[in-house]
Structure 1
Amino acid sequence: MGLSVLTSGSEGEEDREVQPDELATSTSSGEEAAVGDATSESELEEEGGRFHWYAVHTYSGYEKSVSKAISFLSERHKELEGKINRIYVPTEQVKTRRSDGREMRRERALFPGYVFLRMELSPEVVKVCTSAPKVIGFVKSAEDELQMFTDEEITAIEEGKKQRQQAGAREVPFAVGDRVKIVEGLFAPFSGDVEDVSVDKKRLKVTVGIFGRPIPVELSFDQVELADEED
Structure 2
Amino acid sequence: MDGNIENNKQWYVIHTYSGYENKVKANLEKRVDSMNMGDKIFRILVPMEDEVEIKDGKKKIIKRKVFPGYVLVEMIMTDDSWYVVRNTSGVTGFVGSGTKPIPLHESEVRLILKQMGVEEPRTKTMYRVGQNIRVISGPFENFVGIIEENHPEKGKLKVLVSMFGRETPVELEYTQIEDA
Q: TM-score, normalised by structure 2?
A: 0.54
Choose from 137, 146, 152 the match for 2:101: 146
Q: CA deviation at 1:151?
A: 2.1
Q: CA deviation at 1:73?
A: 0.3
Q: CA RMSD in A?
A: 2.4
| Partner deviation per Cα, 1:71-129 (whole Å, 9 max, x = no partner) | 11000013x2411111122101223467x887643212101111111111112112111
Q: Contact conserved, 2:49 with 2:115, CA < 8 A, in 1?
A: no
Q: Contact conserved, 2:51 with 2:61, CA < 8 A, in 1?
A: yes
Tell me which residue corresponds to 1:155. 110
Considering Cα pairs closer than 8 Å and 6+ residues apart, tell me whether 1 or 2 has the greater RCO.
1
Residue 74 and residue 160 in structure 1: after superposition, are their counterparts in 2 closer, same or farther (change >3 A)? closer
Q: Does 1:65 align with 2:23?
A: yes
**Letter paired with 2:70:** Y
Tell me which residue corresponds to 1:76. 34
User: Is the helix fraction higher in 1 or 2?
Assistant: 1
**Letter paired with 1:135:** V
User: 3-state SS of the aligned residue for 2:101?
Assistant: coil
Q: How does 1:1-231 map to 2 (within 5 A)?
A: 49-78=7-36, 80-96=37-53, 104-141=60-97, 144-161=99-116
User: Is the strand fraction higher in 1 or 2?
Assistant: 2
Structure 1: state its 5+ residue gaps.
1-47, 163-231
Larger-Rg structure:
2
Shift >4 Å, 4+ stretches? 100-103
Structure 2: state its 5+ residue gaps.
1-5, 118-180
Percent of paired sites with the same residue: 30
User: 3-state SS of the aligned residue for 2:31?
Assistant: helix
